[in-house]
Structure 1
Amino acid sequence: MTSKLESTVALVTGASSGIGRAAALRLAEEGASVVLVGRRAARVREVADLVTRQGGKALAIPADVTVADAAASVVRDVVETHGRLDIVVNAAGAMLNGDSIRATLDEWDQMVDVNVKGTMYVVKAALPHLLEAAESAERQVADVINISSVAGRVATAGVAIYNASKFGVTAATEAWRQEFGDRNLRFSVIEPGAVDTELFGHQQGHAQEAENQRFEGVEKLHPEDIADAVAYIATSPRRRAINEIVIRPTDQNF
């Protein structure tokens, strides 16, 4: 049986861990050649090696997509190596929540840089190649899948800048969807609730305690749950565009 994404090339940011890692592995299972991008060189190479051992095709490109030139260089390298780009998954993320008085501007800047600017820089660089793929590829469609959050739908005390960054991702994705849908370039946003990733451990100590209390008794999602949604979007036939997916743990009622 032919894999649904055979002959496609997928670029995944934040691929060293969590949702990005799971998404890259899942897309490789579907037959895509995956390009794994992340700041932690050793970690991205480990994931690429895992894809290869499992019979897939992978290329690791260590890079910081919060730097516009670096993001553009990544896209350029992908196209020079593979000759095309069909799918982009923006999964790089930063979550540094906590009391706004105690928070530093560096923490706030980091969330905006990673969540908003990183997504923006990758999309800007990838657009011409994605549109070319949508026009010329056998699938007759290309995809950008942005990982937002339920925090991009509902604001919460202590989460102001993370809320702002994820609301921005959700809004930009919808605007791009309207702009490029008639050219067969689909933009989709996935908004997960609590996912068991290392992001929770990056927050201020008091914020971690508050989050632990808030999510007490909640069985968090696994990164693979979000990767399944990524695969569902990317393998959908051209006629079907999945604009938005919200995924919460069954126990999460907020």
Structure 2
Amino acid sequence: MPDSVAIVTGASQGIGRSTAIRLARDFPSVVLVARNRANLDDTAAQVRAAGAEPLVVDLDLARPSAARTVVDTTLERFGRIDALVNIAGAVPQIDVLDMTDEQWDAGLALKLHGARRLTVAAWPALMESKGSVVLMSGNSAISPRAATGAVATINAAIAALAKAFSDRGIMDGVQVNSVMPGAVMTGRRRSYLEHWAPAHDMTVDEAIANFPAKAEITRFGQPEEIAELMAFVVSPAARWMTGSVLRMDGGEIKSV
């Protein structure tokens, strides 16, 4: 895709970083969006090594003005947007009875409204390029638990939002899909296991070894595996796919 431009949010770590580096093989220019400048600079070096030109935009997508800044900065530098991959946002796993209003608001502001605003702001450019959008949800949207009540609620909202955008995209020529990863071994996942392990009389290494069997999955996923799925979804090979919800979870969800 000559001269094409991809925007990846949450590009400072985890799935976002792996996706940005993977897309550098397909897109000559990759815009990296997150809050941590030092981590973004590290991602940028890896994107450059993979053959693409990076553009770092360090800001907080929870701010209402941030989406417009990302789009304007991208268009000023590259003149187009061909793919938007919304990954930014993490919601703490806290019992649904214990989540405060502030924690709910923070999760909604970044993961849901950040993705919504950025997609809306980028939409005219995506219409022009007949581009692609991905919104990352998660398996908790399908199987909520007490400890993941907020995560599940926000992920379900993102999946519904992606469906709504995809319906509009049919009219406007913009492809929109959502991706639902399962248990992926990111830094956040390891931090969770560091709290989970002592409560189950395990070391962290034991938890990593035993958790997949307890969760009835084949193993933990790797960020690079989700990145490959993201790359396929925004590729020409997947162009007829729109409004789809794609799961990659090692067999976690048992329902049809």
Whether these two folds match at TM > 0.5 is yes
Does the aligned pair in 1 maintain the 2:139–2:182 contact within 8 Å? yes
Does the aligned pair in 1 maintain the 2:134–2:177 contact within 8 Å? yes
CA deviation map 1:174-215 (0-9, x unaligned): 1111111233200010001111112335669866758x6993
Which of 142, 147, 154 is the equivalent residue of 2:143? Answer: 154
Which of 42, 58, 61 is the equivalent residue of 2:38? Answer: 42
Distance in 2 (alpha carbons) for counterparts of 1:221 and 1:58:
26
Distance in 1 (alpha carbons) for counterparts of 2:120 and 2:225:
28
- Aligned partner of residue 159 in structure 1, secondary structure: helix
- Aligned partner of residue 168 in structure 1, secondary structure: helix
Does the aligned pair in 1 maintain the 2:5–2:27 contact within 8 Å? no
Structure 2 residues without counterparts, runs of 5 or longer: 201-206
Q: Is 2:250 aligned against 1:249?
A: yes
- Aligned partner of residue 146 in structure 2, secondary structure: coil
* Paired AA for residue 165 in structure 2: W
- Matched positions, count: 242
TM-score by length of 1: 0.87
Which of 158, 164, 170 is the equivalent residue of 1:181? Answer: 170
Structure 1 residues without counterparts, runs of 5 or longer: 135-141
TM-score by length of 2: 0.86
Question: Residue 139 of structure 1 aligns with which residue?
Answer: none
Does the aligned pair in 2 maintain the 1:145–1:190 contact within 8 Å? yes
Q: Is 2:114 aligned against 1:100?
A: no
Displacement of 1:53 in angstroms is 2.5
Question: Residue 137 of structure 1 aligns with which residue?
Answer: none
Does the aligned pair in 2 maintain the 1:12–1:34 contact within 8 Å? yes
Tell me which moved more, 239-248 or 7-16: 239-248
Q: Is 2:124 aligned against 1:111?
A: no
Displacement of 1:110 in angstroms is 1.9
Identity of aligned residues (%): 28
Which of 194, 203, 213 is the equivalent residue of 2:183? Answer: 194
Does the aligned pair in 2 maintain the 1:98–1:207 contact within 8 Å? no
Which of 14, 36, 40 is the equivalent residue of 1:18? Answer: 14
Tell me which moved more, 175-184 or 66-75: 175-184
- Aligned partner of residue 89 in structure 1, secondary structure: strand
Distance in 1 (alpha carbons) for counterparts of 2:238 and 2:225:
23
Which of 73, 82, 93 is the equivalent residue of 2:78? Answer: 82
Displacement of 1:81 in angstroms is 0.6
How large is the RMSD of aligned CA atoms in angstroms?
2.4
- Aligned partner of residue 250 in structure 2, secondary structure: coil
Does the aligned pair in 2 maintain the 1:197–1:223 contact within 8 Å? yes
- Aligned partner of residue 17 in structure 2, secondary structure: helix
CA deviation map 1:117-161 (0-9, x unaligned): 111111111111111112xxxxxxx10011110112222222111
Alignment CA distance shift 1:157-1:207 (3 Å): farther
Tell me which moved more, 222-231 or 240-249: 240-249
* Paired AA for residue 10 in structure 1: A
Does the aligned pair in 1 maintain the 2:67–2:121 contact within 8 Å? yes
Tell me which moved more, 235-244 or 161-170: 235-244
